[in-house]
Amino acid sequence: MTTANRIFLLDFEKPLYELETRINQIRELAQENNVDVSDQIRQLEARAVQLRQEIFSSLSPAQRLQLARHPRRPSTLDYIQAISDEWMELHGDRGGYDDPALVGGIGRLGGRPVVMLGHQKGRDTKDNVARNFGMASPGGYRKAMRLMEHANRFGMPILTFIDTPGAWAGVDAEKLGQGEAIAYNLREMFRLDVPIICTVIGEGGSGGALGIGVGDRILMLEQAVYTVATPEACAAILWKDAAKAPQAATALRITAWDLKDLGILDQLVPEPLGSAHSDPLTAAATLKAALLQNLEDLSRLSPKERRELRYQKFRHIGVFTELHA
């Protein structure tokens, strides 16, 4: 972890931080007093690696949710800037509004022109308020659709990055047609000819995630979550007690591993040990490689084949079995 990332620590990260701090203190004291403690340092570093492995290999769904919401977790713009050769953000829904909670534009990935868009959370309270905590308005989804139609017109693949607790649920959002804007995107994304790859990079919540989540391939970072409703909302609805959110997180099966088992996810993208916020550049490089490989695979298909693949993929999500006595 870098110094900046240590400003905010989750409870299960604290033992690792304390051990790493101890290692640094011993190293500094040894240098000041010209003492060789290399053997002790190696032992402690090996213990740190082991502890990191133990912590991050046995996380509960609720703890993975905490990582997905980590304020230092790389955002859509972080990934775009790290993986793209060129990037130009485009603004406005051409209806009078430019939503800062959903960003997008044109860039190059591996030398190939693409349209990239996604939810954008803030880094601190002020930035989060400006970005509405990544909860997009109807104007945001209309802006996203405008960019996707532009991509389709000029034959550019579409890459979406999902990271939102849900669409903005304010009264004004309803007045401006939040449900219609998301439903329109869901319908229209199925008809687009170009490759579409959707990646859940953090928190994928409810219809707010689905509004840019219809694609040929669904990717998900290892510590991201994807759910029909936040565990807090689920607990409040089912048990009238938001404190039971950890129980709801387990029941909802929100983790990348769960969704891979359910057949909803096409590819689970591994994160650096310690999560993406501990090594953002490595996380971005891994994601870029996955996107390039999937783009190459999808480019071999015709537009008709891609549309049929997309349609069949979502038709097979949510299959159930009836048991008769």
pTM of the model: 0.89
Answer yes or no: do 54 and 70 share one domain.
no
Total of domains in the chain: 2
Provide the pLDDT for residue 15.
Answer: 83
Residue 71 lies in a domain: yes
Answer yes or no: do 34 and 99 share one domain.
no
Residue 18 lies in a domain: yes
Q: What is the rounded CA–CA span in Å between residue 63 and residue 118? A: 24
Final residue of a domain: which of 16, 40, 58?
58
Please report, for residues 156, 175, 188, 194, 231, the alpha-carbon distance to residue 150 in angstroms, rounded to integers and kept in the order given. 8, 27, 13, 11, 36
Dihedral (CA of 195, 68, 187, 106) sign: negative
Residue 279 lies in a domain: yes
Answer yes or no: do 256 and 118 share one domain.
yes
Answer yes or no: do 49 and 148 share one domain.
no
Answer yes or no: do 171 and 273 share one domain.
yes
* Cβ(214)–Cβ(190) below 8 Å: yes
Residue 137 lies in a domain: yes
Out of 6-10, 170-174, 275-279, least confident range: 6-10
List of residues 6+ apart from 12 with CB closer than 8 A: 55, 59, 63
Among residues 195, 185, 159, 217, which one has the least CA distance to residue 303? Answer: 195
Return the residue matching tokens 């990646």. Answer: 199
Residue 52 lies in a domain: yes
Answer yes or no: do 274 and 206 share one domain.
yes
Final residue of a domain: which of 41, 58, 75?
58
Residue 320 lies in a domain: no
At 239, the pLDDT band (50, 70, 90 cuts) reads: very high
Provide the pLDDT for residue 6.
Answer: 44
The average pLDDT across 32-43 equals 78
Answer yes or no: do 41 and 71 share one domain.
no
The average pLDDT across 239-248 equals 92
Q: Which residues pair with 284 in a beta bridge?
A: none
* Helix 178-189 × helix 138-153 angle, to 10°: 20
Is residue 88 classed as helix, strand or coil in its secondary structure?
strand
* Token pair for 134: 């990544």
Provide the pLDDT for residue 321.
Answer: 77
Exposed / middle / buried, residue 257 (Cβ in 10 Å: 0-12, 13-18, 19+): middle
**pLDDT, tens digit (0-9, with 9 covering 90-100), for 274-301:** 889 989 999 999 999 999 999 999 999 9
Answer yes or no: do 9 and 92 share one domain.
no
Answer yes or no: do 101 and 154 share one domain.
yes
One DSSP character per residue, 108-151 reads EETTEEEEEEEE---SSHHHHHHTGGG---HHHHHHHHHHHHHH
Residue 21 lies in a domain: yes
* Helix 231-239 × helix 61-68 angle, to 10°: 130
Provide the pLDDT for residue 5.
Answer: 43
Is residue 33 classed as helix, strand or coil in its secondary structure?
coil
Element (H, E) at 16: helix 14-32
Provide the pLDDT for residue 294.
Answer: 97
Q: Which domain holds residue 10?
A: 5-58
Answer yes or no: do 36 and 97 share one domain.
no
Q: What is the rounded CA–CA span in Å between residue 277 and residue 176? A: 35
Provide the pLDDT for residue 3.
Answer: 43
Residue 324 lies in a domain: no
* Token pair for 53: 């492995």
Answer yes or no: do 159 and 235 share one domain.
yes
Highest mean pLDDT among 152-156, 203-207, 235-239, 261-265: 152-156
Query: Residue 197: which CATH number?
Result: 3.90.226.10
Final residue of a domain: which of 14, 34, 58?
58
Answer yes or no: do 174 and 301 share one domain.
yes
Indicate if the pLDDT at residue 31 is higher than 80.
no
